[in-house]
Amino acid sequence: MNPTITAFKASPDRGRGLARDLRVRWALEEVGQPYDVRLVTFAEMKAPAHLAVHPFGQIPTYEDGGLALFETGAIVLHIAERHPGLLPDEPAARARAIAWMFAALSTMEPPIVERGMAGLLERDKPWFDARLPMLDERVHARLSQLSDRLGGADWLDGAFSAGDLMMVTVLRRLEPTGLLEAHPTLVAYSARGQARPAYQRAFEAQYAVFVAASAG
Amino acid sequence: MNPTITAFKASPDRGRGLARDLRVRWALEEVGQPYDVRLVTFAEMKAPAHLAVHPFGQIPTYEDGGLALFETGAIVLHIAERHPGLLPDEPAARARAIAWMFAALSTMEPPIVERGMAGLLERDKPWFDARLPMLDERVHARLSQLSDRLGGADWLDGAFSAGDLMMVTVLRRLEPTGLLEAHPTLVAYSARGQARPAYQRAFEAQYAVFVAASAG
């Protein structure tokens, strides 16, 4: 039996691969693990059956035999721990790769999401233009630090890892804003991640959901 | 040799234990691992020696022999993986406890930090009062979901775990706002965490830094 993940039946990103199921799809593709997908509507996400697996009513979830898991970071880590290819074997390098996963999710992503949410929900507010430079500056500060650390390397710490997978998908969330363009090192890093065959298979799989939904 | 963590020489929270070193201290106390602390100034946090360990110039860091680690979540997970007491042995329960660590850091904490930052940095702005209900509502929505899941249980999933440790410290960040008071289940949960002897030893240790700095 393959593991089953959940994804949006109608993703608000219209097939751009910015929803978090892409992260789990990519991880599964990197390790060569086939998977099944159960698509959920927004109403289903907030219903008791889904909330029993995901207390915050979101996607993705991951179910495999007796295990039902939520939180993208935990799901990707679970996959990375059980298959070779996403974490180094050497203990210190493994711990550092996991640190980059947490850095992507708890240091980089919050100001990126805050900037994105303001653009979606407060664009028509009288304060939007006044607050935007502050929000952009918070994002640029993090991007500069990340760019400084990456330097001329291909990946954040040695070989490609689950930390890079998570970071590239977090950086992709900036695409609607154009903010990444000021950091060419990171533009190249993100492109390097997206050039991986496993990424492309994951992207195509989520895009096919959008195409099917549009045709329906 | 004990592991060495870093903490603020002069914490902006003035001894209230809201800085992230408390999370690592608490984890180390739960597993009975003695540790050393190196206090750093804000200038030192942004200097090359610290940035070599922490690319984003923050505290805490964790150094143990050849391993230098950043990101509180990664540090606490590293401690929990190497000592009994913070993660269940059973694989599915272990994965769920780790999911709660990620939930604390990437689902609960961002709206809590966003609300806190607005209170600190935008209180004198003309839009502060107009935006506050929206920020509060985002926090309350997450707190309600967390409260629903916790229900009458003592901890989030079976025995106390690193997931509870992280969640309680995230909820404590709401103390200056009073927002937690509307969720009595979570008030009791947070108090339950803070009643643990390991928490109290961790709190006292960071408080002693504040007292010493104040006396100096």
- pLDDT tier at A215, thresholds 50, 70, 90: confident
Q: What tens digit of pLDDT does each residue of B172-213 get? A: 999 999 999 999 999 999 999 999 999 999 999 999 999 998
A46 touches chain B (CB under 8 A): no
pLDDT above 80 for B216? no
Query: What is residue A36's three-state secondary structure?
Result: strand
**Domains recognised in chain B with CATH numbers:** 4-85+198-215 (3.40.30.10), 91-196 (1.20.1050.10)
B127 touches chain A (CB under 8 A): yes
Q: What tens digit of pLDDT does each residue of B38-52 get? A: 999 999 999 999 999
Phi first, then psi, for residue A75 (nearest 5°) are: -65, -45
Q: What tens digit of pLDDT does each residue of A98-152 get? A: 999 999 999 999 999 999 999 999 999 999 999 999 999 999 999 999 999 999 9
Q: Does the complex come out with an ipTM higher than 0.90?
A: yes
A72 touches chain B (CB under 8 A): yes
Sign of CA dihedral B25, B30, B32, B33: negative
A90 touches chain B (CB under 8 A): no
Can you spell out the DSSP letters for chain B? ---EEEEESS-TTTTSS-STHHHHHHHHHHHT---EEEEE-HHHHTSHHHHHH-TT--S-EEEETTEEEE-HHHHHHHHHHHSTTSS-SSHHHHHHHHHHHHIIIIIIHHHHHHHHHHHHHSTTSTTHHHHHHHHHHHHHHHHHHHHHHHTT-SSSSSS--HHHHHHHHHHHTTTTTTGGGG-HHHHHHHHHHHTSHHHHHHHHHHHHHHHHHHH-
A125 touches chain B (CB under 8 A): yes
* CB-based contact A100:A166 (threshold 8 Å): yes
- Distance separating alpha carbons of residues B34 and A77, to the nearest angstrom: 28
Peptide bond into B91 cis (omega under 30): no
B113 touches chain A (CB under 8 A): yes
Nearest CA in chain B to A147: B55
Q: Tell me which residue in B67, B131, B146 faces A55 most closely, judged by beta carbons.
A: B146
* CB-based contact A29:A76 (threshold 8 Å): no
Please give, rounded to a whole number of angstroms, the shortest distance from the CA of B144 to a CA of chain A.
9
Q: What is the pTM of this model?
A: 0.98
pLDDT averaged over every residue in chain A: 97
- Determine the average pLDDT of the residues in B91-107: 98
- Distance separating alpha carbons of residues A80 and A64, to the nearest angstrom: 15
C-alpha of A160 from chain center? 15
pLDDT averaged over every residue in chain B: 97
- Distance separating alpha carbons of residues A196 and A47, to the nearest angstrom: 36
- Distance separating alpha carbons of residues B25 and B29, to the nearest angstrom: 6
Restricting to B residues 139-178, those with a Cβ less than 8 Å away from any Cβ of A are 142, 145-146, 148-149
Please give, rounded to a whole number of angstroms, the shortest distance from the CA of A65 to a CA of chain B.
10
Torsion (CA) B142, B101, A201, A97 in degrees, nearest 10: 140
pLDDT above 80 for A216? no
| B interface test, pick of A45, A63, A71 with most B CB neighbours within 10 Å | A71
Beta bridge partners of A38: A6
Q: Do B69 and A99 touch (CB under 8 A)?
A: yes
